[in-house]
Amino acid sequence: MSIVLSEQELQRRQALTALEQLGINPYPANAFEINATASDILENYERDKLNYKNIRIAGRMMSRRVMGSASFIELQDATGRVQAYLKRDDLCPDEDKTLYNTVFKKLLDIGDFIGITGFVFTTNTGEISIHVQELTLLAKSLKPLPVVKSADGKTFDAVTDPEFRYRQRYVDLVINPQVRDTFAKVSKVKTSIRDFLNERGALEVDTPVLQPIPGGAAARPFITHHNALDIPLYLRIANELYLKRLIVGGYDWVYEFSRNFRNEGMDRTHNPEFTVLEFYVAYKDYLWMMEITEKLFEHVALATNGNTTLQVGDQEINFAAPYPRVSIYDAIKEHTGFEVDGMDEGGLRDVCKQLGIPTTESMGKGKLIDEIFGEQCEHHYIQPTFIIDYPVEMSPLTKKHRSKADLVERFELMVNGKELANAYSELNDPIDQRIRFEEQLKLMERGDDEAMFVDYDFLRALEYGMPPTAGIGIGIDRLAMLMTNQQSIQDVLFFPQMRPEKGVKHAGLEDYKAQGIPEEWIPVLQKMGFNTIETLKAANPNKVFNDLGGLRKKMKLDIPMPTKEEVLKWFE
């Protein structure tokens, strides 16, 4: 990040000083009470004109069109943009026209926060506008915003560079209104889920993010260290085992929006931290869970988009309940022609070979079936579909199927070719659970670095008894992507993970001062490209002295020129 200021930044800082000299505080402490918003005015003025005679509104000045003694600006607040009209002699009824001629025309810039009072009217060209009677600077903006213009629904010079947008999301939000809309919808997805669950008596809870054993999922965790306890701690990869402990404790419906952390690759659908909604309900099974899940998704679609059918990319997806249920074996049979039900590990390995799916020695039966489904079937399920009844090997926390051998009572909800939710009748048999954990240990020994750790406290909890329970995890970021029709997880997270910005190497102010350089000349040297003391010392002192004079004139700097002897000392 450069500390060297651009021409426009210098101009804005000069405007800041000029404002202070006029007795105007560019960052006043006073509250500015408003009684209207942009969208309120645009929506309601026409049918209720009397109520808009005396309005107060605040926001950023986003454009300025000056025509001598009258001007139009666009004011942007949290709700949108409204045009305002300023007339010199209305704004400054007395002799002194400084507020209009100097403050407004010269010292305000695009991006500044201002508050205005006035009355609403309609211009000759038919645009609802505010006739400004008073103008107050609320906060000066020192960095120029990208200027995005639009007309007739077309947008010009929009900032689309993903790096710019994600690193400086605050700017993205200011200049790209549809981004604010997207995040409002993301928020609506979460509140609509909370409403749905709270109405049904569920209890929202918080469980540890820092866990001594990263349990509840198969994934590589982030590891950290607690100094006082002198133990390693893991950032949670899931909260499942903690929520089930709460069911043991006697709650019958708990949920948590769990920020999870997984130390794995990043791409369009993966961020190192992401949010999963999990909920657990006592005395229910996975069949009940499918019914509540399809109702929940229908509810979320209606709450966020007002419709159960929505456009996602080039697909139209209908979230209206109910959704079809297909067993994983039937899915594989339908899309590959292979009947894998009852096959042993060797047979599955052979099927993978025929389908061209690479396998490794560490893959067990469950993993092989998972691979076949993932490669050959998953992408076919565009409309919401429950894939049910998974093999026991890939589901160590799931209750065995009530009627089908070697299967568990589990479903995944597939939408748009991707897994959106994962749920099951929870395994509550502590002896079986211990055996399943031990099988995971064996997988770990075979080299599966995602096999689960054994959580003995969780086993102890199950030994006290857990009622039959249905549980589910829903990927909230991916759900938000669907509901907002975004192609990248980065567009539903305010601050997606990025490699840290590396500033160009710069000497600090103290380094310059240590060379005996007066503070006011430091920006000039930086402007000349001497960002380190080393590069300065490598330069020709005579040339530097001459250039200082040149820049002093060019930048119209009102600071005394140092003598040549003084400058020569900088090089010692």
Residues 244-263 that bind RNA (CB under 7 A): 262
CB of 317 closer than 8 Å to CB of 307: no
Query: Is residue 123 involved in binding RNA (CB under 7 A)?
Result: yes
Query: Is residue 478 involved in binding RNA (CB under 7 A)?
Result: yes
DSSP state string for 295-327: HHHHHHHHHHHSSSEEEETTEEEE-PSP--EEE
Bridge partners of 424, per DSSP, are 410, 471
Place of tokens 């107050």: 136
Shortest separation between residue 502's beta carbon and RNA, angstroms: 5
**What SS3 state is found at 362?**
coil
Q: Which is nearer to RNA, 248 or 393 (CB)?
A: 393
Query: Is residue 362 involved in binding RNA (CB under 7 A)?
Result: no
Binder of RNA out of 278, 294, 455, 477 (CB under 7 A)? 477
Binder of RNA out of 147, 184, 223, 431 (CB under 7 A)? 147
Binder of RNA out of 218, 533, 539, 544 (CB under 7 A)? 218
Binder of RNA out of 39, 44, 51, 69 (CB under 7 A)? 69
Shortest separation between residue 484's beta carbon and RNA, angstroms: 15
What residue spans of 222-263 are helical by DSSP H?
240-248
Distance CA 297, CA 280 (A): 17
Place of tokens 């509810």: 299
Binder of RNA out of 22, 66, 210, 431 (CB under 7 A)? 66
CA–CA–CA angle 494, 418, 478 (5° rounding): 15
**What SS3 state is found at 404?**
coil
CB of 340 closer than 8 Å to CB of 332: yes
Shortest separation between residue 223's beta carbon and RNA, angstroms: 16
Shortest separation between residue 514's beta carbon and RNA, angstroms: 20
- Which region, judged by CB under 7 A, interacts with RNA, from 117-125, 225-233, 242-250, 510-518? 117-125
Distance between alpha carbon 159 and the CA centroid of its chain, in Å? 18
Show contacts with RNA in window 76-95 (CB under 7 A): 83, 85, 87, 89
Show contacts with RNA in window 421-450 (CB under 7 A): 422, 450
Distance CA 39, CA 126 (A): 17
Binding mask 530-549 for RNA (x = CB under 7 A): -x------------------
Binder of RNA out of 127, 291, 438, 519 (CB under 7 A)? 127
Shortest separation between residue 527's beta carbon and RNA, angstroms: 7
Query: Is residue 522 involved in binding RNA (CB under 7 A)?
Result: no
Binder of RNA out of 57, 120, 189, 217 (CB under 7 A)? 217
Query: Is residue 229 involved in binding RNA (CB under 7 A)?
Result: no
Tally the C-alpha atoms within 13 A of residue 65's C-alpha that lie toward its C-beta: 8
| The dihedral formed by the CA atoms of 296, 472, 481 and 385, expressed in degrees to the nearest 10 | -70
What residue spans of 447-521 are helical by DSSP H?
456-464, 476-484, 509-514
Place of tokens 């539903």: 492
Q: Which among 490, 435, 475 is positioned nearest to 238, based on CA atoms?
A: 475
Shortest separation between residue 171's beta carbon and RNA, angstroms: 8
Shortest separation between residue 243's beta carbon and RNA, angstroms: 17
CB of 2 closer than 8 Å to CB of 503: yes
Binder of RNA out of 23, 48, 95, 124 (CB under 7 A)? 124
Shortest separation between residue 85's beta carbon and RNA, angstroms: 6
Q: Which is nearer to RNA, 180 or 418 (CB)?
A: 418
Show contacts with RNA in window 485-504 (CB under 7 A): 487-490, 496, 498-499, 501-502, 504
Show contacts with RNA in window 316-345 (CB under 7 A): none
Show contacts with RNA in window 10-49 (CB under 7 A): 11, 15
Show contacts with RNA in window 158-187 (CB under 7 A): 158-164, 166
Q: Which is nearer to RNA, 282 or 408 (CB)?
A: 408
Spell out a b/e string for 348-378, using b for 16 or more CB atoms within 10 Å of the CB, else e: bbebbeeeebebeeebbbbbbbbbbbebbbb
Query: Is residue 150 involved in binding RNA (CB under 7 A)?
Result: yes
- Which region, judged by CB under 7 A, interacts with RNA, from 271-279, 284-292, 312-320, 438-446? 271-279
Distance CA 391, CA 410 (A): 9
**How do the residues of the chain divide into helix, strand and coil, expressed in percent and rounded to 5?**
40, 25, 35
Token pair recorded at residue 229: 């306890």
Binder of RNA out of 1, 31, 67, 231 (CB under 7 A)? 67
CB of 340 closer than 8 Å to CB of 372: yes
Number of residues that bind RNA (CB under 7 A): 83
Binder of RNA out of 1, 23, 30, 126 (CB under 7 A)? 126
